[in-house]
Structure 1
């Protein structure tokens, strides 16, 4: 018997293989995050905001098309008037627990914007990352990079901005890694208290392939805090009462190192060729076909 195929499979199918583009994978990501939270007995919501721009130019349109499926999972998409207002709104999603009146354990946030839009959002990123992400929320900041300046006034890459804001960031190389790294990024944000950057380029956003949902069931390891040594007891998540000096101290002493421990535990960075006598190394994302 021939299996009936629907265009909606990309957002409702939980097992098997489906065809996904990079942009559609970014839309599927929060739906899968909500499913994982439910399996872990967490009652969470999602909030997505930002400003469109190539290579993420069609992301907001795809979110609108998937509104029915996002609403079913308590995931709300509100485009920003500009990039920094969108980021500020996402920052606010991490403060819901302070009001003690919500019906959610936490809200995971997703910001999106074109690389040059990230330039103008740096003040928000620095303050929000220093303040921290919530324990059951977490933030993924998706930056669309136009390396070749195909639709930008200058070539752009977001790596230096993420580093300047002391934000760990992930760089998926294909459709499956968008979902896998996205789930890891939100988990890392919750554990470390940092916002997690997410670098997307055109050949990833515009790509498409047969996607195996099995990757969504790979385990995510949450390390203990013992490796943080004397700073293991420092709070890493967002606090109601805080000072700039305390925020910076925790960011420098605990949160960044916690993100590194998460990366090691989940083997995100891998050495392909090892040689103890090497004097030079190459750093690159993997190219997935």
Structure 2
């Protein structure tokens, strides 16, 4: 008798090569990949996922429960929050692994999820969690989903303003592939700079399906070689004072974020021309819209060279790395 086939919605967590998955599933899949990478690096880490459903994460909890067994096998705990703030507080707690004596894990990587109004609702908890910082072998990624057309919300949303006010770096996704790739890069950034990192998508992306290349080579990162970490450090510690946390954010964490962005060339020219005359700078879904517009206009590489037209994709829109 042949072995029973896995349900299609479960195959995306372990399948290699191109994987067909939704934006919601991409956020989940990256936690499996982060665990695998930690194991290969000799780290005994666990994961913790908490948030609150709502478009574009209306089915996130259902997706997580469908792969609950696979999550448990990897010590990744899914615990949906009563609301976004309580979920953020729980994820903040996952970074305090060294506060209460010994632990069976080296660190815990956290994933918070919530839509735009959820960012507003949880702002105080998110602010505290980010100010305290992350564990060097943990890290926190925020799956932020905006519903700018207000299809299932009472207000339109653009979360970047609140997130930047909380000093949380923002990575903009233009596709499901970006969600997966940037999520994995965000964990490395979070561990290096001690910050929570928002990986933002909009409903048209988070609720879409796409063939995603999960090759680890796409998301390898390097540490900056021209940046000296200040003596105060960036990671969570106990005891700690709010004044010291503010100081570290300004003199250590934000500069570390910019150094990481620069070292990994995250903001870059994606479509170049022989002699640059005009540049289009764009981010997130607007980047995909710009590519579609150029294609609809029939502007070829030759025409771009003649026009001197280049396209620059900003991945980390805040803090904006100056060079």
Q: What is the TM-score with the length of structure 1 in the denominator?
A: 0.91
Query: Displacement of 1:116 after TM fit?
Result: 0.5
Q: Deviations over 1:181-224 (max 9, x none)?
A: 00111110100001101212111112212222215664221224
Structure 1 pair 16–277 and aligned structure 2 pair: CA distance change class (3 A): closer
RMSD of the TM alignment (CA)?
2.1
Determine the C-alpha separation between the residues in 2 that align with 1:218 and 1:269: 14
Q: Deviations over 1:134-193 (max 9, x none)?
A: 100000111110101111111001111110001111112112211110011111010000
User: In terms of Rg, which structure is larger?
Assistant: 2
**Match of 1:125?**
126
2:260 to 259, 262, 272: 262
The 5 Å alignment of 1:128-277 reads 128-215=129-216, 218-224=219-225, 226-228=226-228, 232-272=230-270
**Match of 1:53?**
54
**Match of 1:282?**
281
**Match of 1:12?**
14
**Match of 2:39?**
38
Which 10-residue stretch deviates more, 267-276 or 51-60?
Answer: 267-276
Provide the secondary structure at the position in 2 that maps to 1:46: strand
Structure 1 pair 27–262 and aligned structure 2 pair: CA distance change class (3 A): same
Question: Contact between 2:172 and 2:283, CA under 8 Å: does it hold in 1?
Answer: no
Q: Deviations over 1:52-80 (max 9, x none)?
A: 11001111110011101111111000011
In structure 2, stretches of 5+ residues that fail to align are 293-323
Query: Displacement of 1:128 after TM fit?
Result: 1.2
Determine the C-alpha separation between the residues in 1 that align with 2:56 and 2:134: 26
Structure 1 pair 216–61 and aligned structure 2 pair: CA distance change class (3 A): farther
Question: Contact between 2:107 and 2:135, CA under 8 Å: does it hold in 1?
Answer: yes
Structure 1 pair 35–141 and aligned structure 2 pair: CA distance change class (3 A): same
**Match of 2:87?**
86
Query: Displacement of 1:277 after TM fit?
Result: 7.6
Question: Contact between 1:32 and 1:216, CA under 8 Å: does it hold in 2?
Answer: no
Provide the secondary structure at the position in 2 that maps to 1:54: coil
Which 10-residue stretch deviates more, 65-74 or 267-276?
Answer: 267-276
Determine the C-alpha separation between the residues in 2 that align with 1:127 and 1:21: 31
Query: Displacement of 1:9 after TM fit?
Result: 2.4
Question: Contact between 1:179 and 1:216, CA under 8 Å: does it hold in 2?
Answer: no
Q: What is the TM-score with the length of structure 2 in the denominator?
A: 0.82
Determine the C-alpha separation between the residues in 2 that align with 1:209 and 1:277: 34
Question: Contact between 1:145 and 1:200, CA under 8 Å: does it hold in 2?
Answer: yes
Structure 1 pair 180–233 and aligned structure 2 pair: CA distance change class (3 A): same
Structure 1 pair 133–265 and aligned structure 2 pair: CA distance change class (3 A): same
Query: Displacement of 1:12 after TM fit?
Result: 1.6
Question: Contact between 1:145 and 1:199, CA under 8 Å: does it hold in 2?
Answer: yes
**Match of 1:106?**
107
In structure 1, stretches of 5+ residues that fail to align are none
Determine the C-alpha separation between the residues in 2 that align with 1:102 and 1:216: 32
